[in-house]
Amino acid sequence: MNTRTNFKYVEWRDTKGLHADSVNAISDLKFLKDELQFLKDLVAEHTLELIYGKPHEEAVRIGAELRTFDNRLKNLLKNLVIHSNNLQVLTDDIDVPNELQDYKNVHYKLMIEVMDFHSDVKNAKHKIFKMMSSMMKESKQKKMR
Amino acid sequence: MKNITYKIVQWSTSEELHTECLEWASQLQFIKDEQRFLDKLIKEYTLSLIIEEAYNNSLKLVGKLNTEEKELSKLLKRVKDHINTIEILQDNTTDKLKGAAFKEIHYYLKVDVFMYANKYRETKKALFKKIKKLMKSEKRSHLLN
């Protein structure tokens, strides 16, 4: 739930703050995983077909788009967990030159990726809202006839 | 409350604060669209909802969504009002007290938007579960007919 304006503060973040960022991003993505599963079920062809009587081209397209998110989410989640575990390396007694700065660079990159991902999912969701809303309207009209 | 979020707000430039509240407005607007969509989905499954055993629980959940929708309108209004007073910060002649008050309000709004988003997420999670179940039973009855 971090906003862009916070990214500048990656520079000023202490290890505790960096850890909190990763934990939040991981929890957001885990929730998104459930949400994506729900959306996939929702637009799943067979469900729509059963209820509305015909396969829907748009639904197929959106379904495919949603499936591309699976891999992205899996990789992002994996990288974030690794990144969050790497924090221990920073807090150990062995000093490596630039280790904090390197860590922050990765941190920044990951946070941007998370944000981009959320924004892409949002766009897909808008498409789903539109499609399903018009389908529901259609089916209501059919029922009334 | 001198936590890191508070400090970040204090350190932010007026431009950053402006961007941040525009982001809140867009985030809340998106939630609004999503809630409308969820309302429609619930309506679509009303019949299955009524014959469902755990009817009372479902009703509670729908009530929660409705309450949160009302809360969202209020929160969105607060964010928009806040955005409208941003000139206070951009105007050099403004006295310091007003600027400080703006940042104070900004901090509380930030916390409220964050808390709201988390609360809504929980409701959404429960709704997904419910709707999934209803979809399944709907499908079953379609197959039987």
Q: Is the pLDDT of residue A139 over 80?
A: no
Q: Give A122's contacts in chain B (Cβ within 8 Å).
A: 30
Predicted-complex ipTM score = 0.78
For the entire predicted model, the pTM comes to 0.82
**A3 belongs to a structural domain:** no
**pLDDT of amino acid A6:** 53
Measured between CB atoms, which of A4, A42, A51 is closest to B23? A4
Question: How many structural domains comprise chain A?
Answer: 1
Q: Give A17's contacts in chain B (Cβ within 8 Å).
A: 4
The vertex-A45 CA angle with A42 and A50, nearest 5°, equals 90
Amino acid identity for residue A39 in this structure: L
**A2 belongs to a structural domain:** no
Q: Give A129's contacts in chain B (Cβ within 8 Å).
A: 33-34, 36-37
Contact A4 B34 (CB under 8 A): no
A27: contact with B, CB 8 A cutoff = no
Split at pLDDT 50, 70, 90, the class of A5 is very low
**Closest approach of A3 to chain B, Cα-based (Å):** 7
**A48 belongs to a structural domain:** yes
Q: Is the pLDDT of residue B136 over 60?
A: yes
**Per mean pLDDT, which of A85-99, B6-20, B24-38 is the most reliable?**
B24-38
**pLDDT of amino acid B117:** 94
Which residue of A lies nearest to B11 if distances are taken between CA atoms?
A9
The vertex-B119 CA angle with A63 and A114, nearest 5°, equals 50
Mean pLDDT for chain A?
A: 84
Size of interface A-B (CB pairs under 8 A): 57
**A71 belongs to a structural domain:** yes
**A1 belongs to a structural domain:** no
Q: Is the pLDDT of residue A54 over 70?
A: no
**A92 belongs to a structural domain:** yes
Q: What is the pLDDT of residues B87-113, one digit of tens each?
A: 877 777 767 788 888 999 999 999 999
What the block records as the tokens of A13 is 């973040």
Amino acid identity for residue B62 in this structure: V
Q: What is the pLDDT of residues B115-129, one digit of tens each?
A: 999 999 999 999 988
Contact B12 A51 (CB under 8 A): no
Q: Which residue did the predictor score with more confidence, A7 or A93?
A: A93
A134: contact with B, CB 8 A cutoff = no
Q: Which residue did the predictor score with more confidence, B6 or B89?
A: B6
**A134 belongs to a structural domain:** yes
**A4 belongs to a structural domain:** no
B40: contact with A, CB 8 A cutoff = yes
Per DSSP, helices labelled H in chain B are 4-11, 14-44, 46-51, 55-84, 87-90, 96-144
Q: Which domain holds residue A105?
A: 12-144
Split at pLDDT 50, 70, 90, the class of A7 is low
Buried b (16+ CB within 10 A) or exposed e, B109-145: bbebbbebbeebbebbeebbebbebbbeebeeeeeee
- The answer to whether the CB of B4 falls within 8 A of the CB of A19 is no
User: What's the Cα-to-Cα distance from B83 to each of B14, B28, B33, B105, B121, rounded to whole Å?
Assistant: 11, 14, 21, 11, 25
Q: What is the pLDDT of residues B54-73, one digit of tens each?
A: 677 778 888 999 999 999 99
- The answer to whether the CB of A116 falls within 8 A of the CB of A75 is no
